[in-house]
Amino acid sequence: MTAIPGTTKGTEAVSLDVMDLHSKSYPGESVVSLLGNTGTYMIYNPATGQSKISKFELPPQPIPIYSIAKGPDCRIYTNGFVSGQLSAYNPLDGSIKSLLKVGQAESMVPLNGKLYLGVYPGASLYEYNPATDTLGVPSPLFSVGNGQDRIAAMAVDSGTNTIFMGTHPKNGEIGGAFVAFNTATKSKTVRRNIVANQSVVSLAVSGGYVYGGTSIFSNSPSEGTYTARFFRLKAGQPGSQPEFISLPLTKPRMIHALAAAPNGVIWGLSDGNLFSYDPRTKTTKTVSITANTSGRFKNGSLVIGKDGNVYGTVEQKLFKAFPATMTKKILLDKGAANLAMDDNGTLFFNNNTDLWMYTK
């Protein structure tokens, strides 16, 4: 076995082939490989032992936007699929700034002047400080572990400086986790399989409770027999028993998204159905947005608008729902994913590589 020197730390081969490079330095066939997603490549010639690790000088290319969030500085942050490029759009002056590559963020939330990113793979939580780390590398706080790979959802309780996380497991592992992390004390609670054999893919905080929604798609061989669950537990007691809340839906597979309205009503998306839950009266209402949905843990987002209406995306549709009548309006039939709102109530979503703005 021959060790090939070079800067391969933290990388892995994403492609491997054997080819004739038609080069005197690498006669005959050589082993070639692409390392990671940064343009780094390797050449190794078995005949001569000659090797090389270098990086392509490639022009910037647009990449699909994977997640969107309003940051602590009122900018709209976007994170790129696979590449993990973090960028920020300033709604006040229209400027766009590329910041750094942190990894593919499954979810992002602001808290106390920082932006927290749940990064795949490894279900790692990163902290980005716009004031000091603009061009630096954000500090990794921890990885969830426990067989988890994606922090699919996050919600914050600013009163207790707590970030709640819901996760999806690695391939070969069954069952996600519910995580509570206190940014002040650095203490954390990890509860694997808070709902047996299901992933926690949506969260919202309201009225002293953290609400969660699950996906049955969590690598179990019998996942098709399960029903997604809607639950809550006391935000100050992350180790307490969850209270399960029934939904008037037929065997839901996934609760894509949750959002808390100022009046305490919890809004959610489940298999293309929008629902509202009033914890004071314990009543639930529903309206269908789309008949069929795809995906395992990421296909839907919700925002409570400044006008009191509910806005969301699901299955590439952008919609608006009116709480008073529980009716809906499709604003865009295709080409909309993810959703965030700035301080002025302007909505932002993405269509593949492009960030779009919707003004009401």
Residues 48 and 72 in one domain: no
Q: Whole-angstrom Cα distance, residue 90 to residue 6?
A: 39
Order of strands across the sheet that contains 114-120: 104-111, 114-120, 124-128, 139-143
- For the residues of 5-68, what is the DSSP string, one character each? -SS-TT--EEEEEEEE--BTTB-SEEEEEEETTTTEEEEE-TTT--EEEEE---------EEEE
Residues 131 and 33 in one domain: no
Cα separations (Å) of 29 from 1, 6, 46, 249, 260?
18, 21, 8, 60, 60
pLDDT digits 0-9 by tens, 89-101: 999 999 999 998 8
Residues 124 and 169 in one domain: yes
Task: Assign 293 to helix, strand or coil.
Answer: coil
pLDDT digits 0-9 by tens, 176-199: 999 999 999 999 999 999 999 999
> Residues with Cβ < 8 Å from 213, sequence gap 6 or more?
200, 201, 202, 203, 228, 229, 230, 231, 254, 255, 256, 257, 258, 268, 270
Residues 20 and 99 in one domain: no
Residues 37 and 131 in one domain: no
Contact 350, 68 (CB under 8 A): yes
* Residue 102 placed within a domain: yes
Q: Whole-angstrom Cα distance, residue 338 to residue 302?
A: 8
* Residue 7 placed within a domain: no
* Residue 211 placed within a domain: yes
Interior/surface letters 126-147, b for 16+ CB within 10 angstroms, e for the rest: bbbebeebeeeebeeeeebebb
Residues 27 and 111 in one domain: no
pLDDT < 50: residue spans in the chain: 1, 135
β-strand 354-358 against 65-70: which pairing, if any? unpaired
Residues 123 and 264 in one domain: yes
Q: Whole-angstrom Cα distance, residue 72 to residue 108?
A: 11
pLDDT digits 0-9 by tens, 99-144: 988 889 999 999 999 999 999 999 999 999 998 876 456 678 999 9
Residues 208 and 309 in one domain: yes
Q: Whole-angstrom Cα distance, residue 10 to residue 40?
A: 12
For 199, phi then psi, to 5°, come to -95, 150
Residues 71 and 155 in one domain: yes
> Residues with Cβ < 8 Å from 59, sequence gap 6 or more?
none
Residues 44 and 163 in one domain: no
Q: Whole-angstrom Cα distance, residue 31 to residue 89?
A: 42
Structure tokens belonging to residue 327: 């009716």
* Residue 202 placed within a domain: yes
Which residue in the block uniquely carries the two structure tokens 């789309």?
Answer: 290
pLDDT at 137: 62
pLDDT digits 0-9 by tens, 63-99: 899 999 999 998 999 999 988 899 999 999 999 999 9
Residue 28's domain comprises 13-55
Residues 195 and 240 in one domain: yes
Return the CATH number at 107. Answer: 2.120.10.80
* Residue 142 placed within a domain: yes
Q: Which of 109, 46, 106 is nearest to 72 (CA)?
A: 109
Q: Give bridge partners of residue 259 from the DSSP assignment.
A: 267
* Residue 3 placed within a domain: no
Q: How many domains does the chain have?
A: 2
Q: Whole-angstrom Cα distance, residue 147 to residue 150?
A: 10
Residues 41 and 97 in one domain: no
pLDDT at 140: 83
Structure tokens belonging to residue 180: 């509570």
* Residue 115 placed within a domain: yes
* Residue 1 placed within a domain: no
The whole-model pTM stands at: 0.87
